[in-house]
């Protein structure tokens, strides 16, 4: 095998998972555009932004094994950061008197505003992470929830900066399916690179066995903090994109409903893999849309069927319970998209005997 060819195979092997996920999302956008449904564009855009959010949560929760209920707080921080950057200066001068001059007097384009969202989300996550990475297990998860409550209270009452309980308006609503697809693709690539890096490896080791990881020289607190910062930046960016999709911000948008739906997406899809995060968003979105359509009523063979109001929430709950009963590890069960390329180091690693199956759980050798 020539060097060029083996390098190409190595690249394809490494790029397979993110490429397959981006291709799947692209297919969804193309199909939805072709169908040309009226509300389709909005639903698809919202779904793709949720892909970014759930991937952001996954970067920390999936790799470290610590569930976070606080990430929508970073999304809130990112969304308002984008709002500060992108709102009409006249309105800002009137309503947001507490803003510093560089925000109050200027209006920044969407990419700049979203960069600011990612930066602020990342900084907030790093600072808060210094506190929560001292905790572990359920205590850390509860602390993340406390963070969500704090962010919500501060942003709902900080009138001169966030417009408090009245809405922040006038953000250019420039984000549609294609822009959000671009951000979803960036999130997928960033999350995948993090996962296959040494940081990702050590974090997953600490997730499996923290004691043994420490004995392997792994500085668990530092790694959790890095992951928390990266994950806060991704979710912050998602907030910035969401602000440019909604055009109007209220703090209620970034609270319990969004927290629970995104966590449900991650867990149903499978918290153990990037593919699980993406599949979870697609699956739950599909279920919600189908139930919503049924609530509105459909005509099958001349008979009109409409589910009672509330069927959407009940149906979603029942379905989630069923998935967790039959697949507690989520739909993907910790696996990535099956790869057509043999795993790393094929020649030498594959030379040995075929490992016999125990529980059928080992990675099947590809020849």
Residue 194 DSSP class = H
Alpha carbons 85 and 132: distance in angstroms, whole number: 29
Q: Nearest distance from residue 129's CB to another protein, in Å?
A: 19
Q: Are 81 and 236 spatial neighbours (Cβ–Cβ below 8 Å)?
A: yes
The smaller minimum CB distance to another protein, of residues 40 and 342, is found at 342
* Helix or strand run (H / E) with residue 304: strand 303-305
**CB-facing half-sphere around the CA of 134: CA atoms within 13 A:** 4
Give per-residue burial for 31-47: e unless 16+ CB within 10 Å, then b: ebeeeeeeebbebbbbb
- Among residues 177, 313, 340, the alpha carbon closest in space to that of 245 is found at 177
CB of 353 to another protein, least distance (A): 6
To another protein, the closest distance from the beta carbon of 344 in angstroms equals 7
Q: If you search the block for the tokens 């929830």, which residue do you land on?
A: 145
Nearer to another protein, 302 or 345 (CB): 345
Q: Which residues bind another protein (CB under 8 A)?
A: 196-198, 201-202, 204-205, 207-209, 211-220, 272, 334, 343-345, 348-349, 351-353, 355, 358-359, 361-363, 365
CB of 209 to another protein, least distance (A): 5
Query: Closest CB to another protein among 210 and 294?
Result: 210
Three-class DSSP category at 300: strand
Closest CB to another protein among 120 and 202? 202
Q: Is residue 270 within 8 Å of residue 174, measured between CB atoms? A: no
- In the complex, the smallest distance separating the C-beta of residue 217 from another protein, rounded to whole angstroms, is 3
Nearer to another protein, 65 or 83 (CB): 65
Lookup: tokens for 312: 């959407």
**DSSP code of 358?**
S
The minimum distance between CB 273 and another protein, in angstroms, equals: 11
Helix 220-246 × helix 40-64 angle, to 10°: 170
Q: How far is the CB of 203 from another protein (least distance, A)?
A: 10
Q: If you search the block for the tokens 């510093």, which residue do you land on?
A: 100
- Please state the closest distance from residue 191 (CB atom) to another protein, in A: 17
SS3 category, 356: coil
DSSP 8-class letter at 336: -
- Min CB(216)–another protein separation in Å: 4
Please say which residue, 301 or 360, places its beta carbon nearer to another protein.
Answer: 360
* Shortest Å distance, C-beta 207 to another protein: 8
Task: Assess contact for 191 and 183: CB atoms under 8 A.
Answer: no
Burial per residue of 126-157, b for 16 or more beta-carbon CB atoms within 10 angstroms, e otherwise: bebbeebbeebeeebbebbbbbbeebbeebbe
| Distance in angstroms (rounded) separating the CA atoms of residues 262 and 271 | 11
Is the CB of 142 or the CB of 196 nearer to another protein? 196
Three-state DSSP at 106 gives coil
Closest to another protein by CB, 63 vs 259, is: 63
């Amino acid at each position: 095998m020539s060097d060029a060819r083996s390098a190409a195979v190595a690249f394809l092997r490494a790029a397979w998972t993110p490429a397959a996920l981006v291709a799947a999302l692209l297919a969804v956008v193309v199909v939805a555009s072709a169908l040309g449904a009226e509300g389709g564009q909005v639903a698809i855009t919202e779904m793709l932004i949720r892909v970014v959010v759930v991937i952001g949560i996954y970067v920390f929760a999936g790799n470290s094994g610590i569930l976070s209920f606080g990430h929508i707080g970073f999304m809130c921080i990112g969304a308002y950061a984008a709002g500060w950057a992108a709102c009409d200066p006249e309105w800002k001068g009137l309503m947001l008197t507490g803003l510093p001059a560089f925000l109050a007097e200027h209006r920044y384009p969407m990419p700049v505003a979203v960069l600011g969202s990612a930066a602020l989300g990342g900084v907030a996550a790093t600072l808060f992470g210094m506190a929560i990475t001292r905790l572990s297990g359920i205590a850390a998860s509860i602390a993340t929830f406390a963070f969500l409550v704090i962010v919500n209270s501060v942003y709902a009452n900080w009138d001169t900066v966030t417009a408090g309980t009245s809405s922040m308006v006038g953000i250019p609503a420039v984000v549609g399916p294609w822009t959000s697809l671009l951000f979803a693709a960036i999130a997928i690539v960033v999350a995948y690179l993090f996962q296959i890096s040494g940081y990702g490896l050590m974090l997953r080791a600490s997730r499996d066995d923290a004691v043994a990881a420490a004995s392997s020289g792994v500085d668990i607190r530092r790694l959790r903090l890095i992951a928390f910062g990266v994950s806060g930046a991704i979710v912050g960016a998602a907030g910035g994109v969401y602000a440019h999709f909604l055009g109007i911000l209220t703090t209620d948008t970034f609270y319990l409903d969004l927290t629970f739906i995104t966590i449900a997406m991650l867990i149903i899809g499978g918290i153990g893999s990037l593919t699980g995060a993406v599949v979870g968003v697609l699956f739950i979105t599909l279920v919600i849309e189908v139930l919503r359509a049924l609530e509105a009523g459909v005509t099958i063979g001349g008979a009109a069927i409409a589910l009672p109001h509330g069927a959407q929430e009940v149906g979603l709950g029942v379905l989630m319970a069923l998935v967790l009963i039959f697949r507690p590890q989520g739909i993907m069960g910790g696996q990535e998209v099956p790869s057509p390329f043999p795993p790393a180091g094929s020649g030498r690693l594959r030379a040995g005997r075929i490992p016999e199956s125990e529980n059928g759980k080992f990675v099947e050798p590809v020849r």
